[in-house]
Amino acid sequence: MNDIKKDNFLSIYKSEFSSIGKINDNGQKALAFYKQTPFPTTKTEAWKDTDLTEIFTEKLSDAPFFDLDESFFQNFEMPKAEMLRLVFVNGHFSNALSDTNEACDSLVIKDLDSAIGSNESEINQYFGKTNINEQNNFTALNTAFAKNGSFISVKKNKEINKLIHLIYLTDGRKNSAFSQIRNLIVIGENSKASILESYVSLSNSRIVSNAVSEIFMKSGSNLEFYRYQVENENDYLITNTRIEQGANSHLQQYIFSMSGKLIRNDVQVNINGEGSTNQTNGLSLADKTQHFDNSIQLIHSKPNCESKQLFKSLIDNEATCVFNGKVYVAQDAQKTNAMQSNKNILLTETATAHSKPQLEIYADDVSCSHGSTTGQIDNEALFYMQARGLGKQQARALLLFAFATEVADSIKNKAVKEWIENLIDKRLRGRNIIRECKHVFFK
Amino acid sequence: MELLKIENLHANINSKEILKGLNLTVNAGEVHAIMGPNGSGKSTLASVLAGRETFEVTDGKVSYQGKDLLEMSPEVRAREGIFLAFQYPVEIPGVSITNFMKAAVGEVRKHRGLPELKPAEFLKLMKEKKKLVEMTDNLAGRSVNEGFSGGEKKRNEVFQMAMLEPTLKILDETDSGLDIDALRIVASGVNALKSADTAAIVITHYQRLLDYIIPDVVHVLYNGKIVKTGGKELALELEEKGYDWIINDLK
């Protein structure tokens, strides 16, 4: 019954594995899994609020590579940060647009396809080792056929001061197309890095993007990881991410979903060593019929770790946001400190929020809490601000901006924080990074 | 000089009439106290003057400095110099007092045709007014009213009042929830802002606040109307005898 859906994707690749798919025969195993597993439907518990049917309605082609003018990157500049960047267009690496100077002995930053040849031992050591390959049909498809993505490896005891910016651009040139990205990131022992991923579409064509990332944080490592997602209103973005945190590692990750027809982020973090901390935040700004879904699993396997989650959304028109978060505390993970919070503001009566914060705890000496609130903009606060001389629109703008930027408050990299706050403000005023989005929240 | 003139004011909330033909005139330089039992319409009067939309004015006139107040939006009233110190100040998460006041002072000055304050001038103004209500720097950096104690909230109201330099100050039960020290600080802040060009309406349950803010005129509001007006000694009489003697006189 699902065969047509599955064949649609397979016909794009004619069953030819990519170089990534050939790593340790992963592709073959993934393809076998794909063939026997149906795509999720709204009857699948983890997908009950997100309907993928429309992805399968139109035949997709392999999204082609094309060149861009380098001046395009003015949009991505951050005046206060030095940057290294990898650029992909429809899942194909653009060497010309990338800038990896100073990739010295502290850091390997290159496209994954070339890394297969040059960094073979590391690839063999890490690639596919999070069990993400056969997680679902999207990860299996990615494992078998993704052509490229980013490979980042930070060596032991190194601090990378430049911001690593991974830019994934899509443009179907009027066609409906499928684009895949496969990433592998390793942060070495006692090392520190900041990585920003931007998913940006350039046209109004319909692209289905399927990104899979594996991130390994060795003991004592520090990572700030930000995702900025601005697809166009016909685009689908499905991301699957696994993060392995070693002992005394500190991860701060942020997901900013600003535009797109449908975005689904599946993130699983395994905290596998003592003394680690994790902050996972998300902000969804959804309007019209946009649909953003964050599905977050935090697994505490070891004692004395801390995790905090804050997911917020502003939902306008007929848009929908979903938060599905689970904190799992294993029996051994005593003294776990976990907090999970989801806050939504519905700006119209037709906007929808689905919220499902969950705790599953098998240890007896832990401190875990979770909460979820969904409401309207606070009219009392609006009146209070008006009574001090602020116009209604200005008061509303101040309230919404304050609500949204709380998600970014804990970002330590000042340049990124300023950049993203500015993009949030722009978005609320009707602009995205490269063009108008014609929707104003501050009305 | 007549600052505020309320004539035959009727106002409803959810179709229930709360103000039933209220008359009140306030001149520049005066402090008026409005007292009365619970449910008599004191806070409704404050809300209607500030422009809260949940109240519907069904009849009557309110003129402020010769202009029709009821025609103005809440923000225009504020810019024109009306300030309501809220009985229950609202928490505004994520907006610091400093940023809030920067926006408010900017709007008010623009409306009054005054030049924009330079950052240094604004900070100086903040410092001066914080001192007036003994507000700490730490508090000013925090989100408006978020996690504030009752006393801190009321102090913040008087601080904002000082920042915006209003002409007509309305204090809605500013004394509720205050201990004696906070009451003294809040009252001395209000007194410091007293001038010949401005006026204040002090709404309160208790005589206590009027020991610190001495009124020129005391009104008793009952069942949506002002039923008795007198000098400051009326407040003492009410404290001693309660409201029943006035209510009984009406019958």
Mean confidence (pLDDT) of chain B: 94
Lowest mean pLDDT among A155-164, A411-420, B93-102, B206-215: B206-215
Q: Which domain holds residue A7?
A: 3-273
Residue B230 backbone phi and psi in degrees, to 5 = -155, -170
Task: Please tell me which of the candidates B52, B78, B94 has its beta carbon nearest to residue A403.
Answer: B94
pLDDT surpasses 90 at B249: no
pLDDT at B157: 95
| A316 within domain boundaries | no
Residue A3's pLDDT band (cuts 50, 70, 90):
low
Count the Cβ atoms, other than its own, within 10 Å of residue A221. 27
Residue A102's pLDDT band (cuts 50, 70, 90):
low
Task: Please tell me which of the candidates A381, A392, A401 has its beta carbon nearest to residue B90.
Answer: A381
| A24 within domain boundaries | yes
Residue range B198-215: mean pLDDT, rounded? 92
What are the tens digits of pLDDT across the range A233-275? 899 999 999 999 999 999 999 999 999 999 999 999 999 999 9
| A12 within domain boundaries | yes
Residue A1's pLDDT band (cuts 50, 70, 90):
very low
pLDDT at A317: 96
Q: How many domains does chain A have?
A: 2
Mean confidence (pLDDT) of chain A: 94
Q: Evaluate the CA torsion angle A103, A109, A115, A120 in order and state its sign.
A: positive
Residues A137 and A256 in one domain: yes
Residue A441's pLDDT band (cuts 50, 70, 90):
confident
Q: Could you tell me which residues are beta bridge partners of residue B170?
A: B84, B201
pLDDT surpasses 70 at A353: yes
Q: Which of residues 404-433 of A touch B (CB under 8 A)?
A: 405-406
B177: left (phi over 0), alpha (psi -120 to 50) or beta: left
Higher pLDDT among residues A56 and A339, named by residue: A339
Residues A269 and A387 in one domain: no
What is the C-alpha radius of gyration for chain B, rounded to an integer number of angstroms? 18
Q: Under DSSP, is residue B51 helix (H, G, I), strand (E, B) or coil?
A: coil
Instruction: Sketch out chain B's domains with CATH numbers.
Output: 2-91+167-250 (3.40.50.300)
Rounded distance, CA A240 to CA B102, Å?
A: 43
- Which of A232, A252, A273 is the last residue in one of the domains? A273
Residue range B91-109: mean pLDDT, rounded? 95
Q: How far is CA A41 from CA A143, A212, A260, A268, A325, in A?
A: 21, 20, 20, 20, 19
pLDDT surpasses 90 at A103: no
| A364 within domain boundaries | no
Chain A residues whose CB is inside 8 A of the B100 CB are: 385, 388, 398
- Which of A215, A245, A273 is the last residue in one of the domains? A273
B103 touches chain A (CB under 8 A): yes
What are the tens digits of pLDDT across the range B17-66? 999 999 999 999 999 999 999 899 999 999 999 999 999 999 999 999 99
pLDDT surpasses 80 at A31: yes
Nearest to B33 by CA among B154, B199, B246: B199
Chain A residues whose CB is inside 8 A of the B111 CB are: 389
Q: How far is CA A233 from CA A63, A198, A200, A201, A430, in A?
A: 17, 16, 11, 9, 14
| A233 within domain boundaries | yes
| A113 within domain boundaries | yes
pLDDT at A79: 82
pLDDT at A205: 86
What are the tens digits of pLDDT across the range B138-194? 888 899 999 999 889 999 999 999 999 999 999 999 888 788 888 898 899 889 999
Higher pLDDT among residues B96 and A69, named by residue: B96
Cβ within 8 Å, pair A394-B78: no
pLDDT surpasses 50 at A358: yes
Chains A–B, number of C-beta pairs less than 8 Å apart: 71
Closest residue in chain B to residue A404, using alpha carbons only: B94
Chain B residues whose CB is inside 8 A of the A381 CB are: 90-92
B114 touches chain A (CB under 8 A): no
Residue range B103-114: mean pLDDT, rounded? 97
Lowest mean pLDDT among A22-36, A372-386, B5-19, B128-142: B128-142
B115 touches chain A (CB under 8 A): no
**Predicted-assembly ipTM surpassing the 0.85 threshold:** yes
Residues A40 and A172 in one domain: yes
Question: Residue A225, class by beta-carbon neighbours within 10 Å (0-12 exposed, 13-18 middle, 19+ buried)?
Answer: buried
Q: How far is CA A104 from CA A96, A153, A155, B152, B205, in A?
A: 19, 11, 10, 55, 74
Q: Evaluate the CA torsion angle B166, B171, B177, B181 in order and state its sign.
A: positive
Cβ within 8 Å, pair B92-A384: yes
Cβ within 8 Å, pair B90-A399: no
What are the tens digits of pLDDT across the range A182-220? 999 999 999 999 999 999 998 888 999 999 999 999 999
Chain B residues whose CB is inside 8 A of the A380 CB are: 90
A386 touches chain B (CB under 8 A): yes
pLDDT surpasses 80 at A438: no
Residue range B65-71: mean pLDDT, rounded? 97
- Which of A239, A273, A307 is the last residue in one of the domains? A273
A381 touches chain B (CB under 8 A): yes
Closest residue in chain B to residue A393, using alpha carbons only: B75
Cβ within 8 Å, pair B78-A388: yes
| A320 within domain boundaries | no
Task: Please tell me which of the candidates B51, B77, B90 has its beta carbon nearest to residue A380.
Answer: B90
What are the tens digits of pLDDT across the range B157-167? 999 999 999 99
Residues A121 and A265 in one domain: yes
| A92 within domain boundaries | yes
pLDDT surpasses 70 at A2: no
- Shortest distance, CA B238 to any CA of chain A (angstroms): 32
